[in-house]
Structure 1
Amino acid sequence: MVKKKSRAGVENKKPSSNSPTSQKKKGANQNQGEQKARAVTEQVSALPVDDQQFHQKITIELPTIQHYKKAPFVDKVIEMLHTYNICIILNALSDDEISSVMESYDDLLDLNGVTAIGEKDASKRSGTRFYNCRCQQGPKCGFKGWREGADNVKTVYEPENPPVWRQVIDRMDIPHIARVEMVTGHSGCRAQGWHVDALRGVTAIFAMTDVDLSKGPTQINFMEHFTSLDLNAGKVKGGLGAGNVESTFAAMPKGALVMFNANCVHRGTANLSKVDRPVLVLDCSADCGMVGK
């Protein structure tokens, strides 16, 4: 039997699994697999498979180096927000920034209810408000501007070099931060009631600690009708479309940030762990007309 030869007169053989070409392909596939594996963090691993796959779609990992081109990441976050109404950004805060925020939080926290800064209600949750625009003033929170002693939080909130999340809200024309607050689900707290944060805008939640399913991550429900982030569009009806989850949990590692449509129905879930779950929350919206007044 004569072996079939190629035009170059060389036998047609399948490349060996040890050939340079095969090894290159194998290496590329392995790198892709590792990238996907990183997207499904340990915090997400306890979620249902469909939810894990959805997390892969909505997660962006920022470089840990300080100097990198932010524009491509800003573009990608905005694209995800318009497509899925949610985006999780890994490495949004450094360990040093988290430590600074937590230092202010520890100094100001008052669970005795003497001040409005750290009220802990019967559900075992507490809210520590660092910044409050006049448009957010209510009967239980009579201050506006920055709370005295919240300097460390202000440094993170208003950095000299605008981070990706800040550039995102500026580009989306929702640059007004109406509220900066630490919301802590203390160990044993029950789930919040379902609610929306605003008619239009983005809620930004930074994880001050690893937030897995047991610690009470934010749950977002996409099946309830909500206002589109696109100013030229109306309500989004019936969820995000075929093939996507009806709701998701914002499980994420320490230092990550979830940004989502503030008009989506959501809630903080029960903290079933033995440790507290503090998250830093920002309300991002269009100019309210009351800034600085």
Structure 2
Amino acid sequence: MAKKNKSKGVSTKTSNSNLPSNSSPSKKKTTGKLSSESTSPTVTEQVAALPIADQQFHAKITVTLPTTAYFKKESYVSQIIDTLHTYNMCIILNALNSTEITSMMLNYDQLLDLNGVTAIGEKDASKRSGTRFYNCRCQQGPKCGFKGWRDGAENVRSVYEPSNNSVWRDVIDRMGIPHIARVEMVTGHSGCRAQGWHVDALRGVTAIFAMTDIDTQKGPTEINFMEAFTSLDLRKGKCKNGLGAGNVDKTFAAMPKGALVMFNANCVHRGTANLSKVDRPVLVLDCSADCGMVGK
């Protein structure tokens, strides 16, 4: 369990709710590469508003990809997988570049339909809308009758499909969970309230790409490690006591634009309230065991 930092008078235990609306990101800039082995509190600007313990936890789980066009992926893939097995969560910086984000957002704008006639743009009472790009036949969401890629989603599909720099695809392939059940842009509109706590799958990984900077005001995903969850290690059963001494009980996936958070899909989590004046779109992928294996 996390303890209070008496010297600074700051509680290092994550709150059960969103941070106060008057909390704002620090202007402190990130310096140097963040490694999953690091315990330094030096984190991205979006993380700087989190409690100290959360900042230190983010430093442990963050992997920074090179921004060059091509690089050797093997060491980064191994680092991400090791981080996921250790902490059930990993944040990957530079997962998408600005060109890819612009291309994907163009598809989103073209397909968005807030009239709710189709699953594209269906908006619920919490002020969220979802643009479903890909739908496996195992998905039975409301009004999602299509199977495979939706017409008009070519830009998202080109980024989603394997490429020289698609580290996340190598991660899920090597972990034995290459089945993608859903690809969807989920936008938490300004003023949306927090989602209910939920899990995405019995076993697998949820991948969320940040289409914009996500600080504490915009409603980052919150993950609760104290609720029992299935281990990512097939040789192990349920994890019932969180992540162990020295780590947080809950944390927010605050991250900059273009970053990716991958976490155990069986961990209880939720999208928190968007307290900012701008929308917060994220691209969500459900990566799980083959749909024929679900429930076994």
TM over 0.5, yes or no?
Answer: yes
Residue of structure 2 in register with 1:247 after alignment: 250
When residues 107 and 45 of structure 1 are mapped into structure 2, their CA distance, relative to the original with a 3 A threshold, is same
Tell me, yes or no, if structure 1 residue 60 matches structure 2 residue 56: no
- Distance (Å, rounded) in 2 between the aligned partners of 1:138 and 1:88: 28
Q: Deviations over 1:177-227 (max 9, x none)?
A: 110000100000000000000000000000000000000000000000000
Measured in 2, the distance between the counterparts of 1:117 and 1:33 equals: 40
**Residue 212 (str. 1) matches residue 215 (str. 2):** yes
Choose from 153, 172, 185 the match for 2:175: 172
Deviation at 1:39, TM superposition (A): 5.2
From 89, 93, 96, the counterpart of 1:93: 96
Please say which structure displays the higher CA radius of gyration.
1
Aligned-partner Cα distance in 1 for 2:165–2:290:
19
Tell me how far 1:33 sits from its aligned partner.
Answer: 6.8
1:66 deviation in Å? 1.4
Task: Determine the structure 2 residue equivalent to 1:134.
Answer: 137
SS of residue paired to 1:57: helix
Aligned partners of 2:41, 2:246: CA distance in 1, in Å? 22
- The aligned counterpart of 2:287 is 284
How many residues end up aligned between the 2 structures? 259
Q: Within 5 Å, which residues of 2 pair with 1:38-57?
A: 40-57=43-60
> Does 1:77 find its partner at 2:80?
yes
Could you list the per-position Cα deviations for residues 23-62 of structure 1 after superposition, in whole angstroms to 9, with x for gaps in the alignment? xxxxxxxxx9744679511100110000000000000110
How far apart, in 2, do the equivalents of 1:232 and 1:184 lie? Answer: 36
Determine the structure 2 residue equivalent to 1:233: 236
Q: Which has the higher helix share?
A: 1
- Off by >3 Å, runs of 4+ in structure 1: 32-39
Q: Which letter maps to 1:209?
A: T
Q: CA RMSD in A?
A: 1.6
Greater mean deviation of Cα atoms: 274-283 or 160-169: 160-169
* SS, match of residue 117 in structure 1: coil
Aligned-residue identity in percent: 79
Residues 244 and 121 (structure 1 numbering): CA distance in 2 closer, same or farther, change over 3 Å?
same
Which whole-Å CA distance do the structure 1 matches of 2:77 and 2:174 have between them? 9
Equivalent residue for 2:190, pick from 149, 169, 187:
187
Secondary structure of the residue aligned to 1:107 is helix
C-alpha separation between the residues in 2 aligned to 1:145 and 1:161? 23
The answer (yes or no) to whether the contact 1:39–1:55 under 8 Å persists in 2 is no
The equivalent residue for 1:117 is: 120
**Could you tell me which amino acid in structure 1 is paired with residue 141 of structure 2?**
G
Local SS of the residue matching 1:239: coil
Change (3 A) 1:225 1:38: closer
Q: Partner letter of residue 281 of structure 1?
A: V
- Contact 1:39–1:59 (CA<8 Å) still a contact in 2? no
Letter of the 2:148 partner, please give it.
Answer: G
In structure 2, what is the Cα distance between the partners aligned to 1:39 and 1:187? Answer: 29
Structure 1 stretches lacking a partner, 5+ long: 1-31
Partner of 1:152: 155
CA shift, 1:163, in A, is 1.1
CA contact (8 A) 1:182 1:280 kept: yes
**Is residue 265 from structure 1 mapped to residue 268 from structure 2 by the alignment?**
yes
- Structure 2 residue runs of 5 or longer lacking an equivalent are 1-29, 35-39
CA distance change for structure 1 residues 139 and 122 in 2, over 3 Å: closer, same or farther?
closer
TM-score norm. by structure 1 comes to 0.86
Q: Which residue of 2 aligns with 1:10?
A: none
